[in-house]
């Protein structure tokens, strides 16, 4: 099987390394680079048309990232009868139904294991579960960069900025880390996962709040309450309605999520017959991501089909499907926005009881308009100890 790689950065070079030192049935015969990139290998070319029109190339691996020109390049490859494997979660989250339909029209495969969960085979196992089960919950730590930051802030007792700098130095965070710390990377991975689980086209907008505003003071407060903060993506289905949200969430210190350290991922699904399945491992990095791409290449080589989805299930997005407690650190003058809710004050923070997720995120936008540094976190709904600890502290402070 002859392969062309589009883009030769961290992931693309990792794919090349694995193939060059692995199965002789696979060979990289072309590497597409931009004109500004020096051609340092004989396989490198700036001529995309030559790759598309080469009948000997079976598969194109797209590792360029971003929406454009990746969207056009993937479509052209499929239309030229090439299988496509990609790690590009942004383009897959937006165009997955289109890519799948075009691939089917041209009798080729479009695979994307590496978009979500890095090397932990999350997509493949989600597909296996969805073949025979109705998935009703997807939840977890989808982003290694944000998890590394929160973990180091707690265990090394550091503030946000020096940990983010360290994450950049270690290659966990990009020069512009916005997608990781603001939650957009998790949104894309959650959209892909929910689309597969529910067989529907994901919504355009997902309630999202990241970790940009978290401080060492926040982390220290949570630790004093025996809580651990994680950035979580969660989707839930109830009949023909479903929800999606990305937000910081507090877990008791004994929870699995609380004990997922460094840049690791922990992703869970729940099916009506299989129950809970959890997947843990390296969620990012050169070789874990490249490994997932090569796994897809093996599936193409060995004619191992993936789950066939039409993404046309008529489900309704409901941001208020979930109800949670939240803790808010903000200018006290913003607390009046929650006067119609049951609330308690805990160490100058407002605990809002049983508020629908969509309503909380809307109100948080109003809070940020007044206090741009405000921070909120959901209290883990599966961890009753989280609520119990905060309630105990309420009694100590207020009573």
**DSSP string of 301-315?**
HTT--------B---
- Active-site residue, 189 included: yes
Count of Cβ atoms closer than 10 Å to residue 225 Cβ = 20
> CB-hemisphere CA count at 13 Å for 221?
19
For 263, which DSSP code? T
Q: Are 191 and 202 in contact (CB under 8 A)?
A: yes
The whole-angstrom separation of Cα 11 and Cα 119 is: 12
- E-strand ranges in the chain read 2-6, 27-32, 44-45, 59-62, 83-86, 110-111, 135-141, 227-238, 241-252, 264-271, 275-282, 316-317, 323-329, 343-346, 349-356, 375-379
The residues, ordered by sequence, that sit 6+ positions from 356 with a Cβ below 8 Å of its Cβ are 319, 320, 321, 322, 323
| Measured CA distances, 38 to 33, 107, 243, 395 (Å) | 8, 35, 46, 65
Q: Are 51 and 60 in contact (CB under 8 A)?
A: yes
The whole-angstrom separation of Cα 1 and Cα 376 is: 50
User: Can you read off the two tokens belonging to residue 248?
Assistant: 């910081």
- How does 101-113 read in b/e, with b if 16+ C-beta sit within 10 Å? ebbeeeebbbbbb
Q: CA 45, 46, 50: angle at the middle one, nearest 5?
A: 75
The whole-angstrom separation of Cα 133 and Cα 111 is: 21
User: Can you read off the two tokens belonging to residue 236?
Assistant: 């839930």
The SS3 call for residue 243 is strand
Q: CA 136, 137, 142: angle at the middle one, nearest 5?
A: 150
- Active-site option among 189, 191, 234, 236: 189
Catalytic annotation, residues: 189
């Amino acid at each position: 099987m002859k392969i062309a790689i589009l883009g030769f950065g961290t992931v693309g070079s990792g794919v090349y390394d694995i193939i060059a030192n692995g199965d002789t049935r696979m060979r990289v015969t072309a590497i597409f680079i931009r004109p500004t990139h020096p051609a340092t290998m004989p396989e490198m070319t700036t001529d995309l048309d030559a790759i598309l029109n080469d009948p000997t190339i079976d598969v194109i691996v797209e590792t360029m990232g971003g929406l454009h020109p990746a969207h056009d390049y993937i479509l052209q490859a499929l239309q030229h009868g090439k299988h496509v494997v990609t790690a590009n979660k942004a383009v897959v989250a937006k165009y997955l139904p289109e890519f799948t339909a075009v691939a089917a029209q041209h009798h080729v495969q479009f695979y994307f294991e590496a978009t979500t969960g890095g090397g932990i085979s999350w997509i493949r196992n989600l597909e296996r579960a969805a073949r025979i089960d109705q998935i009703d919950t997807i939840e977890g730590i989808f982003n290694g960069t944000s998890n590394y930051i929160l973990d180091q802030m707690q265990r090394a007792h550091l503030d946000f900025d020096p940990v983010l700098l360290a994450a950049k130095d270690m290659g966990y965070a990009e020069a512009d880390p916005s997608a990781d710390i603001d939650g957009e990377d998790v949104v894309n991975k959650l959209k892909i996962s929910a689309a597969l689980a529910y067989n529907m086209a994901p919504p355009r907008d997902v309630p999202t709040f990241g970790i940009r505003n978290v401080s060492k003071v926040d982390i220290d407060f949570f630790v004093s309450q025996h809580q651990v903060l994680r950035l979580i993506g969660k989707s839930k289905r109830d009949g023909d309605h479903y929800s999606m949200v990305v937000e910081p969430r507090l877990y008791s210190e004994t929870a699995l999520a609380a004990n997922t350290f460094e840049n690791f991922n922990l992703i869970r699904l729940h099916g009506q017959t299989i129950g809970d399945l959890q997947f843990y491992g390296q969620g990012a990095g050169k070789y874990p991501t490249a490994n997932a791409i090569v796994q897809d290449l093996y599936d193409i080589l060995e004619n191992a089909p993936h789950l066939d989805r039409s993404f046309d299930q008529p489900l309704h997005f409901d941001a208020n499907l979930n109800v949670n407690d939240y803790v808010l650190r903000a200018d006290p003058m913003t607390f009046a926005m929650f006067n119609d809710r049951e609330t308690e004050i805990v160490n100058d923070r407002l605990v809002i009881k049983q508020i629908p997720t969509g309503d909380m995120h809307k109100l948080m936008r109003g809070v940020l308009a007044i206090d741009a540094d405000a921070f909120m976190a959901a209290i883990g709904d599966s961890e009753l100890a989280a609520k119990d600890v905060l309630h105990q502290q309420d009694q100590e402070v207020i009573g």
